[in-house]
Structure 1
Amino acid sequence: MHCRQWIFDMDGTLTDSMGVVWEGAPDALLRRYGRTPKENLRSALLTMGMQEGAQYLIREYDLPLSEDEYYGVMREVIAELYETVELKPGVREMLARLRAEGARICLCSNTWADQCRTVLRRLGVLDDFEFIVEAQGALHKSRPEVFAQCMERLGGADPAACAVCEDAIYAASTAQKAGYYVIGIADPASAADEAQMRRVCDQFLPAWSALDWTRA
């Protein structure tokens, strides 16, 4: 294993939450206010950070909410949906091996850090991660700075020796262009991007059990 630092996304990468939470939450919130989601809503939100997505929904659906009020309502909706989320198969075993081999691990997610902690604590893997970075605002994953910050905090200096693990093509592409070792994981929510993911990832996995440790 040549990668000593590992940066993990959560939703769709470690947990099965893309469909349950992030495809379901905007619909659930809009319906609270009598709005009908448009057909392209999911694809429109996929590449947006939390703040950008909030502004988009408030504007496009004329929601009677300030941005702060929106976050409060959305947190309620998301917290309820996250109670049904589980780890993807093979995640526990993969994290245990990384710990045993002395790798340093962090989480870099678009999801609020406190919500990530709640989910990972319930699933029993929170202590595997040294810290959590919220990929929002200037640290959105469409820019490489967030991965650089994570790598440096993990004690790394060489992107090629730092694994970035993602299910979303925009984030995987950002990491690939910046020289990181990119591991993609299949997820139903991003199935349409599989061909692109295979092109930009050093490894693209159908499941975590397929990880080639000799290459990672």
Structure 2
Amino acid sequence: MHRKQWIFDMDGTLTDSMTVVWQGAPLELLRRYGRTARPGIHDVLLSMGMAEGAEYLIRTYDLPLTLRDYEPAMRQVIRDLYKKVELKPGVREMLARLKAEGVRMCICSNTWAEQCEEVLTRLGVADYFEFFYTAQGAKSKAHPEVFHEVLERLGGSGPADAVVCEDAVYATRTARQCGFYLIDIEDETSAADKPELQRLADQYITDWTQLDWTKL
């Protein structure tokens, strides 16, 4: 295996957290304030950034929160929901094998770096990763320079000799544009994008036990 730098997304890639946390968090926040979500709330929030989504929830559901209050309240909801999250099948074995092969690994996630580290520490795999990178806003994975920056921190010589592991189509498109070797894993929340992910990925798998090591 000659690809010695691996960049992992966390939610939906290593952990089963997309439904539990990221679809569940707005519902749980509203529940804590005695509100009931309206039908289609996920579709509405999916089209918004984090700040716009916060404004929408505060306004639409008359939450007793300011924008300043919202972030710590939502972070606490997310932190609590992450306690229910587990690793996807085959993750432990896959990470152990990569470590044994001398691979350098990191997390590049929309989720706050400290939250990723907390989750993966609880699950017993945080030590496999050299650093945790928060990819949000101007530093989101929609921007190629983010992947280049992360690869440089891993000591990579170039994208063709490195691997990006994802479940989200927008990040997959960016990594493909950069020239990385791409592994995409199936997740319930990205089912509608499956044909596009299969087209873009060098390997598309349903769980980590299906990884073809001969191609790496």
Distance 1:37 1:154 in 2: 42
SS at match of 2:184: strand
Distance 2:149 2:43 in 1: 28
RMSD: 1.7
Deviates more, 1:35-44 or 1:2-11: 35-44
Partner of 1:111: 111
Q: What amino acid is the match of 2:160?
A: A
Distance 1:59 1:66 in 2: 12
SS at match of 1:197: helix
Q: How far off is 1:161 after superposition?
A: 1.1
Residues 1:178 and 2:178 are matched in the alignment = yes
Distance 1:38 1:109 in 2: 28
Partner of 1:159: 159
Q: What is the count of residue pairs matched by the alignment? A: 213
SS at match of 1:11: coil
SS at match of 1:147: helix
Distance 2:41 2:157 in 1: 38
Where structure 2 has 5 or more consecutive residues not aligned to the other structure, the ranges are none
Partner of 1:30: 30
Partner of 1:121: 121
TM-score (norm 1): 0.92
Partner of 1:202: 202
* Structure 1 pair 44–195 and aligned structure 2 pair: CA distance change class (3 A): farther
Q: What amino acid is the match of 2:180?
A: Y
Distance 1:67 1:161 in 2: 43
* Structure 1 pair 186–47 and aligned structure 2 pair: CA distance change class (3 A): farther
Q: How far off is 1:55 after superposition?
A: 2.7
Partner of 1:58: 55
Identity %: 58
Render the CA deviation track for 1:26-55: whole Å, top value 9, x for unaligned.
12113334544344433454576xxx3233
Render the CA deviation track for 1:125-160: whole Å, top value 9, x for unaligned.
010000000001211111112111110000013111
SS at match of 2:105: strand
Where structure 1 has 5 or more consecutive residues not aligned to the other structure, the ranges are none
SS at match of 1:184: strand
Residue correspondence of structure 1 range 29-48 to structure 2 within 5 A:
29-46=29-46
CA contact (8 A) 2:58 2:64 kept: no
SS at match of 2:102: coil
Distance 1:147 1:205 in 2: 22
Q: How far off is 1:162 after superposition?
A: 1.2
* Structure 1 pair 40–178 and aligned structure 2 pair: CA distance change class (3 A): farther
Distance 1:58 1:178 in 2: 34
Distance 2:146 2:66 in 1: 27
Deviates more, 1:23-32 or 1:158-167: 23-32
SS at match of 2:88: coil
